[in-house]
Amino acid sequence: MNPNLDLLQPYPFEKLRQLKAGAQPPAELEHIALSIGEPKHPAPQFALDALSNQLATIANYPVTLGLPELREACADWSTRRFNLKPGTLSSETQVLPVNGTREALFAFVQVAVDSSQPSPSVLMPNPFYQIYEGAAILAGAKPVFLNCTEENGFLCDFDRVPAATWKACQLLFICNPGNPTGAVMSLEQQIKLIELADEHDFIIASDECYSELYFDEHTPPPGLLQACAAMGRDDYKRCVIFHSLSKRSNLPGLRSGFVAGDQAIIEKFYQYRTYHGCAMPLFAQAASIAAWRDETHVVENRELYRQKFDRVLAILGDSLPVIRPDASFYLWPQTPVSDTEFARDLFAEQHVTVLPGSYLARSTADGNPGSQRIRMALVASLDECEQAAQRLRAFVEARY
């Protein structure tokens, strides 16, 4: 067996299950789950219709490269969304459909890491999406954690990274907007990062699956390829983006996304995927084409999240230190006691589940940036989110 499997930590939700074991919440209170970032808004009907109209294609093997129409839809959407120079993102050579970003992020690291080199490392934000760490370990690389704290705007402070660390870096993950903080990297920050990648010769993998969940319709979060375009870097060298329909279009079960960027990197990733056996079913591709070509449902989706943030933050008031994020559907409040104690007691007394922040981060010399924080995913209905906020406020006021 692969010995690196023993280095993997339990997934956050397994830790949460153990934390809640034995607790007996009030039976009269319906359970409200704010722990998992699974969208609950209705899926767009036109996408479901496109899927059902193509169910007969279940009789056909799909190809790894995906339908030309799907790659074109992804390239066209990226060009519009990120103000790319028309024609610079080729649907033929720079876009690959994937079965959701989780699968793609993990697989990509297996391609990007050269384990024959001494002490390869993968840098990532801390807290982080757990796939980054697991993928690095199983690729034979060392995960290096860059703390994202309130003091640095919940963003990685790349100026503090030593030259020796950059030298060993083969791949850098950024999550923009961030999970769980919702912080957004500016265009200038991403340009600086690309310059660092040139200087130290590493790949940037930008997880942008929350990029379409923001509050101001006039200022969408900038993306990594957009930063390339601002530099006149139309080959997108060393840069790869990951996008998904899960959050944008409320289609998490479709398992549909795409990867795009540097042609040479995409070519190698495609080669890997032909062996990986991960082609997207044709009916899922049909639904995906429809979803990437429509923006109306995405605008409506953002409005639903705005309403929930407005209501929840108004109810919470000053009961917990919390700020509205730049984007995403998470809140990242501080807790008056340890995050695990707070989450366990909140569940036991109010039947509300949140995720301890320390489960999403790793301890470093500067501490665990998730400690005394919880992640609240505002994915439940507006009424449920309001009820959860009221219970949370009552819990805090009664105890602390």
Structural domains in the chain plus CATH codes: 9-42+297-399 (3.90.1150.10), 45-293 (3.40.640.10)
pLDDT of 232: 96
For the residues 300-315, what does the mean pLDDT come to? 98
pLDDT of 277: 82
Structure tokens at 12: 């956050």
What is the per-residue pLDDT across 221-236, written as a single tens digit (0 to 9) for each? 999 999 999 999 999 9
* pLDDT exceeds cutoff 90 at 169: yes
Tell which residue, 98, 56, 95, 71, has the closest CA to residue 292: 71
For the residues 189-213, what does the mean pLDDT come to? 97
For the residues of 200-243, what is the DSSP string, one character each? HT-EEEEE-TTTT-BS-TT-PPP-HHHHHHHTT-TT-TTEEEEE
Whether a cis peptide bond, with omega within 30° of 0, leads into 325 is: no
For the residues 126-141, what does the mean pLDDT come to? 97
* pLDDT exceeds cutoff 90 at 133: yes
pLDDT of 333: 98
Phi/psi at 244 (nearest 5 deg)? -145, 155
pLDDT of 236: 98
What is the per-residue pLDDT across 77-105, written as a single tens digit (0 to 9) for each? 999 999 999 999 999 999 999 999 999 99
For the residues 63-72, what does the mean pLDDT come to? 97
For the residues 176-204, what does the mean pLDDT come to? 97
- Helices 282-292 and 68-81, axial angle in degrees (round to 10): 30
Question: Strands 355-356 and 374-377, how do they pair?
Answer: antiparallel
For the residues 2-25, what does the mean pLDDT come to? 95
pLDDT of 28: 96
> Residue 105 and residue 305: Cα distance in Å, rounded?
26
Q: Give the gyration radius of the chain's Cα atoms.
A: 21
Tell which residue, 246, 228, 120, 244, has the closest CA to residue 172: 120
For the residues 173-178, what does the mean pLDDT come to? 98
- Total Cβ atoms within 10 A of residue 314: 10
* pLDDT exceeds cutoff 90 at 20: yes
* pLDDT exceeds cutoff 90 at 132: yes
pLDDT of 361: 98
* pLDDT exceeds cutoff 90 at 215: yes
Confidence of residue 278 (pLDDT cuts 50, 70, 90): confident
> Residue 172 and residue 32: Cα distance in Å, rounded?
35
Contact assessment for residue 170 and residue 112, using Cβ atoms and an 8 Å cutoff:
yes
Confidence of residue 37 (pLDDT cuts 50, 70, 90): very high
Contact assessment for residue 372 and residue 334, using Cβ atoms and an 8 Å cutoff:
yes
DSSP 30: P
For the residues 271-279, what does the mean pLDDT come to? 92
Listed in sequence order, the residues at least 6 apart from 56 whose beta carbon sits closer than 8 Å to its beta carbon are none
pLDDT of 83: 97
pLDDT of 50: 97
Contact assessment for residue 245 and residue 229, using Cβ atoms and an 8 Å cutoff:
no
Average pLDDT over the chain, rounded to an integer? 97
Q: pTM for this one?
A: 0.96
Please list the alpha-helical segments (H only) found in the chain. Answer: 12-20, 45-53, 68-81, 100-112, 130-138, 163-168, 187-200, 224-230, 245-248, 263-276, 282-292, 296-316, 339-350, 382-399
DSSP 269: H
Structure tokens at 50: 């496109």
